A and B are shown apart, each in its own frame.
Chain A
């Protein structure tokens, strides 16, 4: 990305001071309004995350609240005569000075929405009040044990491990093969290479469904279906998208550096490893991150190639868990949180590369 930085043009001298000030003021107002709209949008974006986390920490009982609060509230209970009763903050006319509230427990419902409230300290003291007018006392109650329950209900640790294997072995494959191929396409000058590069680029447009069925048949003949191999092995044969990205970057590295290494007696492999790779690190990291995201979140291929439940990845395991345990929303949300933690963590650690990668592949692609 060639950065275009221009100095703002100095305003013409003829613009009066007061006009300049009013222009500045309206710009400030515009910016404030823009910030406001952006902030509201940001809150909307964050709500599903909050919903996911808070639901994952609720008990089954808390799930039943209508409408479900974003904060896992739980009604506070007190013991009255050996039974747990819900605590309310009530206003008792005349009893307390200037309408102050006292905490009382609801012990029995009466017809007409009324209820008998007693003082937990002194159960003999009771009043009858309209329940709807009183405020229930509540506190935040978290259930982190949901995570343990979700992780042990189905073999999620196993799925997590499988996903890690697929992601990282595949990442090694992508990085090795794509830097090699990108080097081949950027540093050698044979006419047939140009033709092959056009062929490579045109494969970006090819939907994977076109090749999927014969590839499935091939893996089945090899006995690889229901193993992790179909998800890992193709990564070692480079892909057009990452090769293109890396090649574009290699092209910007001056050939003189290669020549210097060549004169020093370096082989092409050494040149690639010692000259180009260190300089291309930012793009290599970007490719690695994008592969991580792709492999971690991919559902389509694991669904097709993995059949028995011990071989699933997180994506397939989570989908099946969702289908089987659909009433246990709190457990499903806990499992979902576990699945999204690694990509979110990676995003926060490597934000700059992320944004750069999107921009490079988006604008320049």
Chain B
């Protein structure tokens, strides 16, 4: 009797031990690479720290410096938001329209899908290099095309402070296919009965789009917008390659994340960069919460009507 009870007790403990064993890679990693560094990074953000000498405590001065004295901090926020305000709506409209077209039972959907998705698999340095050449006034093909087709003399793009961000936006639209696949899957998940019911009620194509497609797609649209916004704050590789890490011309492409990198690894201002990282974290957190909160007002979730 006693033996059985004892072995039962150890069985539950054994289970717990197994559970700890299986999640241990994440648990250890979380402590070493996430929790510990988060605490340290917050501490660094309250110091002046150049990585060689010991950190010097300065309280909240790094934060005061960012918000009160550092014009470049505000500038980098403006650059990031300007880019986001162009790239996100345009990407959404382009991606959504394309997926609507692809959903028209066009022949060869899989071929088109492949082509549109192709740019997403090579994201990064190579993409930025190729586009920097396409936009180049010397060896590029875009300006000669504009001149010949529309008779417009193209701008200097990445050498012109006014055109560098629009150039990056055009470049981002090339990768619209990643979104197309998500939208397409969403569209194909809308039950055809909804459309049939709308047709029976006499809804025309426009109305079917407005009252069936759009409400059914809002969760997906919402998801891609939130991710896109967070992505804009983490935008780095393309702009580093195109501006050679400077954020030029004339700081026109000094994105928030690039400015953070410069502070940390160019100016050795690890303390200030940590403060910028925490501000970034709070921005991402606030954006996510804000959109999640407001989503109840305009996002329609399938579960409200139909349970899977």
**0/1 string, A233-253, CB within 8 A of B gives 1:** 010111010010000000000
- Expressed in whole angstroms, the Cα–Cα distance for A22 and B65 within the complex equals 69
- Expressed in whole angstroms, the Cα–Cα distance for A313 and B110 within the complex equals 33
Question: Contact: A188 with B19, CB < 8 Å?
Answer: yes
Question: Contact: B105 with A362, CB < 8 Å?
Answer: no
Question: Contact: B22 with A184, CB < 8 Å?
Answer: yes
- Expressed in whole angstroms, the Cα–Cα distance for A196 and B35 within the complex equals 13
- Expressed in whole angstroms, the Cα–Cα distance for A4 and B104 within the complex equals 17
Whole-angstrom distance between the Cβ of A304 and the nearest chain B Cβ:
6
Question: Contact: B102 with A38, CB < 8 Å?
Answer: yes
A185 within 8 A of B: yes
Contacts A211-B38, A344-B122 given; indicate if A181 touches B281 (C-beta within 8 A).
no
Question: Contact: A181 with B25, CB < 8 Å?
Answer: yes
Query: Which residue of B36, B139, B174, B182 has the most chain A CB atoms within 10 A of its CB atom?
Result: B139
Question: Contact: B277 with A213, CB < 8 Å?
Answer: yes
- Expressed in whole angstroms, the Cα–Cα distance for A212 and B264 within the complex equals 10
- Expressed in whole angstroms, the Cα–Cα distance for A315 and B132 within the complex equals 16
B131 within 8 A of A: yes
A94 within 8 A of B: no
Whole-angstrom distance between the Cβ of B307 and the nearest chain A Cβ:
11
Of B189, B241, B244, which one neighbours A4 at CB under 8 angstroms? Answer: B189
List the B residue with the shortest CB-CB distance to A330. B139
Comparing B158-166, B191-199, B207-215, the segment that makes contact with chain A is: B191-199
Query: Which residue of B125, B139, B223 has the most chain A CB atoms within 10 A of its CB atom?
Result: B125
Comparing B2-10, B81-89, B141-149, B293-301, the segment that makes contact with chain A is: B141-149
Question: Contact: B29 with A237, CB < 8 Å?
Answer: yes
Contacts A344-B118, A363-B220 given; indicate if A30 touches B130 (C-beta within 8 A).
no
A218 within 8 A of B: yes
Q: Which residues of B contact A363 (CB under 8 A)?
A: 182, 185-186, 189, 220, 223
- Expressed in whole angstroms, the Cα–Cα distance for A205 and B127 within the complex equals 26
Of B25, B27, B276, B285, which one neighbours A236 at CB under 8 angstroms? Answer: B25
List the A residue with the shortest CB-CB distance to B145. A67
B255 within 8 A of A: no
Count residues on chain A whose CB falls below 8 Å from chain B CBs: 98
Question: Contact: B126 with A336, CB < 8 Å?
Answer: yes
Question: Contact: B29 with A323, CB < 8 Å?
Answer: no
Whole-angstrom distance between the Cβ of A266 and the nearest chain B Cβ:
12
List the A residue with the shortest CB-CB distance to B264. A213
A153 within 8 A of B: no
Contacts A214-B40, A234-B29 given; indicate if A206 touches B234 (C-beta within 8 A).
no
Of A55, A209, A236, A298, which one neighbours B124 at CB under 8 angstroms? Answer: A298
Q: Which residues of A contact B276 (CB under 8 A)?
A: 209
Known: A212-B264, A237-B26. 15 other contacts (CB 8 A): A31-B105, A46-B118, A48-B174, A177-B26, A181-B23, A184-B22, A184-B23, A200-B30, A209-B280, A214-B37, A214-B41, A236-B25, A318-B129, A322-B129, A339-B125
A297 within 8 A of B: yes
List the A residue with the shortest CB-CB distance to B12. A190
List the B residue with the shortest CB-CB distance to A185. B23
Question: Contact: A359 with B185, CB < 8 Å?
Answer: yes
B140 within 8 A of A: yes
Question: Contact: A68 with B240, CB < 8 Å?
Answer: no
Q: Which residues of A contact B156 (CB under 8 A)?
A: none
Question: Contact: B308 with A2, CB < 8 Å?
Answer: yes
- Expressed in whole angstroms, the Cα–Cα distance for A293 and B123 within the complex equals 9
- Expressed in whole angstroms, the Cα–Cα distance for A244 and B125 within the complex equals 29
Question: Contact: B185 with A67, CB < 8 Å?
Answer: no
- Expressed in whole angstroms, the Cα–Cα distance for A136 and B52 within the complex equals 65
Contacts A37-B101, A336-B129, A347-B118 given; indicate if A315 touches B26 (C-beta within 8 A).
no
Whole-angstrom distance between the Cβ of A328 and the nearest chain B Cβ:
11
Whole-angstrom distance between the Cβ of B157 and the nearest chain A Cβ:
14
Contacts A299-B125, A319-B240, A359-B182 given; indicate if A213 touches B274 (C-beta within 8 A).
yes
A278 within 8 A of B: no
List the A residue with the shortest CB-CB distance to B119. A45
**Can you report 23 residue pairs joining A to B where beta carbons are below 8 Å apart?**
A1-B185, A42-B116, A46-B118, A51-B130, A51-B133, A51-B141, A176-B25, A180-B22, A181-B26, A207-B280, A211-B41, A212-B264, A214-B38, A237-B28, A237-B30, A237-B32, A238-B25, A238-B29, A299-B240, A300-B237, A336-B130, A358-B117, A358-B182
Contacts A46-B115, A238-B29, A319-B125 given; indicate if A212 touches B277 (C-beta within 8 A).
yes
Of B38, B121, B125, B178, which one neighbours A315 at CB under 8 angstroms? Answer: B125
List the A residue with the shortest CB-CB distance to B28. A237
A63 within 8 A of B: yes
Whole-angstrom distance between the Cβ of B283 and the nearest chain A Cβ:
9
List the B residue with the shortest CB-CB distance to A211. B37
Question: Contact: A217 with B139, CB < 8 Å?
Answer: no
B98 within 8 A of A: yes
A340 within 8 A of B: yes
Q: Which residues of A contact B224 (CB under 8 A)?
A: 362
